[in-house]
């Protein structure tokens, strides 16, 4: 059969944000693909150079609608380090709680999306219903459901009275049982297992070579988690462990995320039961001395990096954002080749792509001749190997 | 855990290619030149157990364009290989063959900072739209939108096909 | 049959008017049941009708390069075939239009919508529609064999090729569903595949190929295609109910009941089968076409063949 071009995106039911895959398929098997990860440019990096630190924070919050707290926290912690101030313990605890709640709602969202991509709408509805509960807690605690606006340079903007904290605890507690139910469903539902097992397989070596991060990397046995490797906020004093898995496929990524849900829920409860007293915001100078700081953060999707440069004024000289999705694209492109057309949605969804993060500095690239920044020959070679594997698995 | 990538080790592995210093983070920054960049990265990758490439940080300081290649490894220490490039005729060797993820990041830096990466397989537009004026790199400090120039999107003045 | 009675039979009950309302009612039950399983509220009872009427009033968009005549005719053809097949099935009693061999005719007519989908997909000049159309036919070749085998089991045992004849055979005897439980199971799975519902909604996989063959159907074309799908659901359930659950028969009864009671039994059995299909839809993920290929031939087909092989023994035991 002749190769046909299947355009997936920029508008497609499988995609929640604009990205374009131009997929050449031989019948149902992907032969090669080109990727275009743009369409969402808002010029945020340029904008961040033109505002003072306090006005940059709300701007960065709008990089992403899911991991909004990640972007403000990683920036605030970098600027605080450059200013040589430290957020008070209570502020750090509050930031950690919001960060973990964000991870819970992001992973629940992901679980639903992954189920929806393989047509399992029941799980999709169930997880999103529980995600509502998390968002209600976030709204009660911060005042907002999406862009929480809790962070400030030097601390947080809102203190939590004890009754609010106990209400939040009551609402978070039942979620553990729900997550256990989903873990059970993922492990036992045959049709879902059939769609997740062996799909989007990446070995440990491939993950490292392609620079994948977060649950995508940890599902292939790569033991990187910034929360432990470069501890920030309260992670060093909290009881938790890094979840890894050695399946290396979509099932592995699911198991890692479900495991992280348990860890996060546990951390939230430990923190909320024993919030440190005291101030919530340190006094910070207006300007930051010249310097540079590589601020790393474990966002729900993986390692988020802001490379910050200050020049002695009240504005950053450079905020260079590397989002987890940006790091994961190369691995996606490699995992897709030689797979079935039907696997595209679930493999792409498995890295939990956040396109508005990735293309915050992007406009459009309809040509997109290069796929994943690899050479033709390399791609061809990988393609042949993956193709052979795909054939073999049939 | 493997041997830590401390300052002394970085200096000895990359000896003769530039200077190493410890910067807050904690992080070790190794400053080299564009000519030695590939050699420095190659030696760092094999000699310092750096298996995770984090980012190419790019900065326009007004005097030079700086590129910071951040790495980490099983020892969890972050090592940065940094180069400063002239603002005119900014060129650097491509690392896309050594580090697959660098392919995308170099295209990003190329678009935004105007760095030419020699040896990149396809240094195409990646994040700027196709009707963005050539030779304009928005994250350069001296970049300002030109009066009357078209930067993509919908043209206000010109009626579209069938519209008007 | 007199001419007015025939017209009444064709147009009102159990013909066109009944079929349309019955199909929409079944769609509502299906949607409502699935919604409750997914902890959603679900649609109000008249929602399927409202959807249908709304779609009828929408603009028909003709994609450039697409075969307009095929896109216009295929939905009508599908609905007409299913509606004709439905006339042959016993709803309140034996079908007055039934004849020896109507089972085979009904099975052929119920295949027409799938072929129509291929035609629509192929002439839509849209890659998603084309891929969907090819998937629909590929899937048909996989499920049709076990589905037919399962449905021929009752015919062989009863020694009749008429659906109504098989129903009459079951009067006073154990139903085919009890004699051939595996056949019923294979029939249900085959019907789910025929209806292209999860886990077999491969040809219409939304997240992969948008809406498959239906991608370029708009307005009344889409409305009629949806109606044909609903009618196929009604006809498929009616067929299984007749072949395996005795259709309008009352349990443990040797005689055909009156028309009203017969219809109530038919409705109850159809709803029971629908409940199974809805549960299957809500409880599974969509499998891939290669997985269906392997599973359909290895497992489903073997089960159907095994059931077939038992029929002679059953027949001698029954006598």
The domain limits of chain A are 3-41+331-393, 44-322
Count of A-B CB contacts under 8 Å: 139
Average pLDDT, chain B: 82
Rounded (10°) angle between helices C68-87 and C16-37: 100
Q: Does B49 touch chain A (CB under 8 A)?
A: no
Residues of A in contact with B78 (CB under 8 A): 230, 294, 296
- Residue A373's pLDDT band (boundaries 50, 70, 90)? very low
pLDDT value of position A393: 41
Tell me what pLDDT residue C100 has: 86
pLDDT confidence tier of residue C250, bands split at 50, 70 and 90: confident
* Residues A95 and A87 sit within 8 Å (Cβ to Cβ): yes
Q: Between the CA of residue C70 and those of A15, C67, C84, C126, C191, what are the distances in Å?
A: 31, 6, 20, 14, 26
Is the distance from CB of A160 to CB of A97 less than 8 angstroms?
Answer: no
Structure-block tokens of residue A113:
């999306």
Q: Is the distance from CB of B136 to CB of B57 less than 8 angstroms?
A: no
Contact B112 A361 (CB under 8 A): yes
Q: Which of A68-72, A331-335, B57-61, C215-219 has the lowest mean pLDDT?
A: A331-335
Q: Residue C127 and residue A5: Cβ atoms within 8 Å?
A: yes
Interface chains of chain C (3 or more CB pairs under 8 Å): A
Given an 8 Å threshold on Cβ–Cβ distance, is C205 in contact with A119?
A: yes
Report how far residue A52's alpha carbon sits from residue C309's, in angstroms, rounded to the nearest whole number. Answer: 81
Q: Write the residue in B103, B127, B152 that is nearest to A361 by C-beta.
A: B127
For A:226-255, CB contacts with B below 8 A are: 229-230
- Residue A97 sits at the chain B interface (C-beta within 8 Å): no
CA dihedral (B30, B32, B38, B39) in degrees, to 10, reads -80
Chain B closest CA to A185's CA: distance in Å? 34
**Rounded to whole angstroms, how far apart are CA atoms A306 and A316?**
12
Does C20 or A346 have the greater pLDDT score?
A: C20
Report residue B11's pLDDT band, with 50, 70 and 90 as the boundaries: confident
CB pairs under 8 A between A and C: 87
A322 shares contact with chain B (CB less than 8 Å): yes
Q: Is the pLDDT of residue A364 over 50?
A: no
Task: Give the minimum alpha-carbon distance from C306 to chain A in angstroms, rounded to a whole number.
Answer: 24
Q: Looking at chain A from residue 193 to 212, which residues have their Cβ under 8 Å from any Cβ of chain C?
A: 194-195
B110–A contact, CB cutoff 8 A: no
Q: Which pLDDT does position C272 carry in this prediction?
A: 93
Q: Select from A122, A343, A394 the Cβ nearest to the Cβ of C283.
A: A122
- Nearest-by-Cβ selection for A373 from B60, B80, B96: B96
Name which of A10-19, A140-149, B33-42, C113-122 the model is least confident about: A10-19
- Rounded-to-integer distance, Cα C316 and Cα C179, Å: 13
What is the structure's pLDDT at A391? 42
Q: Give residue A384's pLDDT band: very low, low, confident or very high (50, 70, 90).
A: low
Residue A41 has pLDDT above 80, yes or no: no
Q: Which residues of C touch A116 (CB under 8 A)?
A: 207
Residue C37: its chain A contacts at CB < 8 A? 122
pLDDT value, residue C7: 84
Rounded mean pLDDT, C165-175 = 85
Question: pLDDT, tens digit, for every residue of A74-133?
Answer: 999 999 998 889 899 999 999 999 999 999 999 999 888 888 888 888 889 999 988 988
Q: Is the pLDDT of residue C314 over 90?
A: no
Percent residues over pLDDT 90 in chain C:
35
Instruction: Indicate which of A342, A350, A353, A391 best probes the interface with C, i.e. most C CBs within 10 Å of its own CB.
Output: A342
Q: Nearest-CA neighbor of A47 among A38, A36, A57?
A: A57
In this prediction, residue C94 has a pLDDT band, given cuts at 50, 70 and 90, of confident
Give the mean model confidence (pLDDT) for residues A343-370: 56
Q: What gap in Å lies between CA B153 and CA B103, rounded to an integer? A: 27
pLDDT band at A369; cut points 50, 70, 90: very low
**What's the CATH architecture for A44-322?**
Orthogonal Bundle (1.10)
In tens, the pLDDT along C195-213 reads: 988 888 888 877 778 888 8
pLDDT at res. B164:
34
pLDDT of residue A367: 32
Structure token digits, residue B119? 């040896």
Average pLDDT over residues C256-269: 86
- Which of the residue ranges A386-390, B15-19, B80-84 would you say has the lowest mean pLDDT? A386-390
The answer to whether residue C286 neighbours chain A at the CB level (below 8 Å) is yes
Q: Is the pLDDT of residue B163 over 50?
A: no
CB contact under 8 A, B125 and A367: yes
Q: Which candidate from C37, C40, C207 shows the least CB-CB separation from A345?
A: C207
Measured over the CA atoms of residue A167, residue A171, residue A176 and residue A179, the dihedral's sign is: negative
Cβ–Cβ gap A320/B124 under 8 Å: no
Instruction: Check residue A370 and give its pLDDT.
Output: 36
Query: What's the complex ipTM?
Result: 0.84
Name residues 130-149 of chain C within 8 A of A (Cβ).
130-131, 135
Query: C202 and A344 in contact by Cβ < 8 A?
Result: no
pLDDT at A260: 92
- What does the buried/exposed string (b/e) look like for C74-87 if buried means 16 or more CB atoms within 10 Å of the residue's CB? bbebbbbbbbbbbb
User: Considering only CB atoms, which chain A residues are within 8 Å of B112?
Assistant: 45, 361
Q: How confident is the model at residue A357 (pLDDT cuts 50, 70, 90)?
A: low
Show residues of chain B in contact with A294, CB under 8 Å.
25, 27, 54-55, 57, 68, 70, 78, 80
The model's pLDDT over A302-314, given as tens digits with 9 standing for 90+, comes to 888 999 988 888 8
Bigger pLDDT: C124 or C53? C53
Cβ within 8 Å of C, A 337-356: 340-345
Question: Confidence class of residue B45 from pLDDT cuts 50, 70 and 90?
Answer: confident
Per the model's pLDDT, the better-predicted residue between C234 and B16 turns out to be C234
Put simply, whether A204 touches B (Cβ < 8 Å) is no
Taking contacts as CB-CB distances below 8 angstroms, the residues of chain A near B54 are 294, 296, 303, 305, 322
- Across C270-293, average pLDDT: 90
Closest partner residue to B104 (CB to CB) among A46, A292, A330 is: A330
Q: Dig out the tokens for C244 from the structure.
A: 């395996």
Q: How far apart are CA C111 and CA C81, in angstroms?
A: 9
Neighbours of C295 (CB within 10 A): 16
Report the percentage of chain B scoring pLDDT > 90.
3
Distance from CA of A320 to the nearest CA of B (A): 6
Q: Is A307 on the interface with B (CB under 8 A)?
A: yes
pLDDT tens-place string over residues B59-77: 888 888 999 999 988 888 8
**DSSP class per residue in A45-90:** HHHHHSSBHHHHHHHHHTT-SSSHHHHHHHHHHHHHHHHT----HH
Please indicate whether, in this complex, the C-beta atoms of A365 and B96 are within 8 angstroms of each other: no
State the pLDDT at residue A15.
Answer: 74
Q: Measured between beta carbons, which residues in chain A are less than 8 angstroms from residue C128?
A: 6
Nearest CB among C135, C286, C290 relative to A118 is that of C286
% of chain A surpassing 70 pLDDT? 89
User: pLDDT at position C187, please?
Assistant: 92
CB–CB contact C127 A195 (8 Å) = no
Do C208 and A191 count as a contact with CB atoms less than 8 A apart?
Answer: no
Using the Cβ of A19 and the Cβ atoms of chain C, whether some distance falls under 8 Å is answered with: no
Which tens digits make up the pLDDT trace of C115-158?
999 998 888 888 888 888 888 888 998 999 999 999 888 998 88
A window 64-83, beta carbon within 8 A of B: 81
C-alpha–C-alpha distance, residues C149 and C307, integer Å: 9
Extract the tokens encoding C301. Answer: 């087909």
- Asked if C291 has any chain A CB less than 8 Å from its own CB, the reply is yes
- Report the first-to-last Cα separation within chain B, whole angstroms: 67
Is the Cβ pair A122, C199 closer than 8 Å?
no
Give the model's confidence band at A383: pLDDT under 50 very low, under 70 low, under 90 confident, else very high.
low
Identify the structural domains of chain B with CATH numbers, from first to last: 7-118 (3.30.460.80)
Pairing between β-strand A155-156 and β-strand A3-8 as defined by DSSP bridges? unpaired
Q: What is the mean pLDDT of residues C288-305?
A: 89
Convert A97-116 to b/e letters by CB count within 10 Å (16 or more is b). Answer: bbbbbbbbbbbbbbbbbbbb
Would you say A40 and A17 are in contact if contact means Cβ atoms under 8 Å apart?
yes
Mutate which: A37, A214, A360, A363, vs B, most B CBs within 10 A: A363
CA atoms of B45 and A251, how far apart (whole Å): 31
Mutate which of C131, C136, C199, C208 to disrupt the A interface (most A C-beta within 10 Å)? C208
Q: How confident is the model at residue C236 (pLDDT cuts 50, 70, 90)?
A: very high
Paired sense of beta strands A3-8 and A20-26, if any:
antiparallel
A181 touches chain C (CB under 8 A): no
Q: What is the DSSP string of A198-227?
A: TTT---HHHHHHHT--HHHHHTTT----HH
Nearest CA in chain C to A391: C290
The tens digit of pLDDT for each residue in A250-295 reads: 889 999 999 999 999 999 999 998 889 888 888 888 888 998 899 9
Domain ranges of chain C: 3-318
């Amino acid at each position: 059969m002749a190769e046909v071009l299947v355009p997936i995106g920029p508008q497609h039911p499988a995609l929640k944000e604009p990205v374009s895959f131009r997929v050449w398929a031989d019948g149902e098997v992907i032969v090669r693909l080109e990727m275009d990860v743009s369409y969402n440019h808002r010029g945020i990096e340029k904008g961040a150079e033109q505002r003072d630190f306090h006005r940059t924070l709300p701007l960065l919050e709008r990089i992403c609608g899911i991991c909004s707290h990640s972007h403000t926290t990683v920036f605030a912690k970098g600027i605080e380090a450059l200013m040589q101030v430290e957020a008070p313990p209570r502020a750090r605890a509050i930031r950690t709680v919001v960060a973990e709640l964000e991870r819970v709602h992001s992973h629940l969202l992901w679980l639903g999306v992954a189920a929806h991509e393989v047509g399992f709408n029941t799980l999709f509805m169930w997880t999103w219903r529980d995600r509502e509960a998390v968002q209600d807690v976030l709204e009660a605690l911060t005042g907002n459901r999406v862009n929480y606006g809790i962070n400030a340079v030097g601390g947080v903007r809102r203190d939590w009275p004890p009754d609010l904290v106990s209400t939040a605890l009551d609402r978070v507690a039942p979620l553990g049982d729900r997550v256990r139910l989903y873990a059970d469903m993922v492990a036992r539902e045959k049709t879902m297992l059939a769609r997740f097992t062996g799909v989007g397989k990446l070995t440990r070596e491939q993950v490292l070579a392609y620079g994948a991060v977060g649950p995508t990397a940890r599902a292939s046995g790569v033991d990187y988690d910034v929360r432990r490797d470069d501890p920030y906020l309260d992670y060093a004093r909290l009881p938790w462990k890094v979840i890894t898995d050695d399946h290396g496929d979509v099932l592995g990524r699911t198991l890692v995320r479900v495991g992280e849900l348990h860890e996060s829920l546990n951390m939230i409860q430990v923190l909320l039961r024993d919030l440190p007293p005291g101030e919530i915001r340190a006094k910070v100078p207006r300007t930051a001395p010249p310097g540079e700081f590589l601020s790393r953060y474990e966002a729900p999707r993986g390692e988020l990096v802001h490379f910050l440069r200050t020049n002695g004024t009240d504005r950053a000289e450079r905020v260079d954002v590397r989002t987890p999705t940006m790091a994961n694209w190369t691995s996606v492109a490699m995992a897709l080749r030689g797979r079935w057309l039907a696997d595209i949605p679930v493999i792409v969804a498995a890295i939990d792509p956040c396109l508005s993060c990735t293309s915050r500095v992007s406009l459009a690239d309809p040509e997109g001749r290069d796929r994943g920044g690899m050479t033709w020959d390399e791609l061809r070679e990988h393609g042949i190997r993956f193709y052979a594997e795909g054939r073999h698995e049939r | 855990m493997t041997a830590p990538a401390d300052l002394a080790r970085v200096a000895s592995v990359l000896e003769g290619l530039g200077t190493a210093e410890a910067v807050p983070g904690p992080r070790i920054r190794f400053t080299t030149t564009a000519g030695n960049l590939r050699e420095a990265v190659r030696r760092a990758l094999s000699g310092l157990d750096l298996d995770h490439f984090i980012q190419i940080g790019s900065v326009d300081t007004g005097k030079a364009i700086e590129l910071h290649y951040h790495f980490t490894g099983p020892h969890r220490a972050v090592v940065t290989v940094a180069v400063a490039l002239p603002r005119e005729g900014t060129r650097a060797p491509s690392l896309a063959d050594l580090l697959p993820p660098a392919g995308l990041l170099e295209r990003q830096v190329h678009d935004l900072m105007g760095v030419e990466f020699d040896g990149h397989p396809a240094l195409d537009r990646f994040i700027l739209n196709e009707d963005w004026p050539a030779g304009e790199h928005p994250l350069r400090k001296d970049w300002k939108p030109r009066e009357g120039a078209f930067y993509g999107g919908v043209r206000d003045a010109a009626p579209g096909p069938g519209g008007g | 049959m007199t001419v007015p009675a025939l017209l009444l039979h064709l147009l009102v009950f159990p013909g066109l008017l009944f079929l349309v309302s019955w199909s929409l009612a079944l769609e509502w039950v299906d949607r409502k049941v699935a919604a409750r399983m997914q902890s959603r509220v679900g649609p109000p009872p008249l929602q399927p009708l409202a959807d249908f009427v709304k779609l009828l009033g929408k603009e028909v968009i003709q994609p450039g390069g697409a075969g307009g005549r095929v896109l216009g005719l295929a939905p009508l053809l599908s609905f007409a075939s299913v509606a004709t097949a439905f006339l042959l099935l016993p709803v309140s009693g034996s079908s007055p239009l039934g004849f020896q061999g109507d089972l085979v005719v009904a099975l052929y007519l119920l295949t027409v919508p799938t072929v129509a989908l291929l035609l629509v997909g192929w002439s839509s000049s849209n890659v998603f529609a084309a891929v969907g159309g090819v998937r629909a036919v590929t899937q048909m070749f996989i499920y049709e064999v076990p589905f037919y085998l399962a449905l021929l089991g009752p015919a062989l045992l009863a020694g009749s090729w008429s659906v109504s004849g098989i129903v009459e055979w079951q009067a006073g005897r154990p139903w085919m569903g009890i004699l051939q439980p595996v056949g019923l199971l294979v029939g249900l799975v085959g019907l789910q595949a025929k209806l292209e519902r999860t886990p077999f909604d491969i040809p219409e996989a939304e997240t992969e190929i948008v809406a498959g063959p239906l991608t370029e159907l708009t307005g009344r074309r889409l409305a009629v295609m949806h109606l044909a799908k609903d009618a196929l659901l009604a006809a498929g359930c009616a067929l299984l109910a007749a072949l395996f659950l005795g259709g309008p028969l009352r349990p443990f009864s040797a005689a055909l009941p009156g028309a009203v009671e017969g219809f109530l039994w038919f409705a109850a059995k159809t709803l029971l089968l629908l409940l199974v299909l809805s549960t299957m839809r809500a409880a599974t993920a969509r499998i891939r076409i290669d997985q269906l290929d392997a599973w359909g031939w290895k497992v489903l087909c073997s089960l159907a063949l095994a059931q077939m092989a038992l029929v002679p023994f059953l027949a001698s035991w029954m006598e």
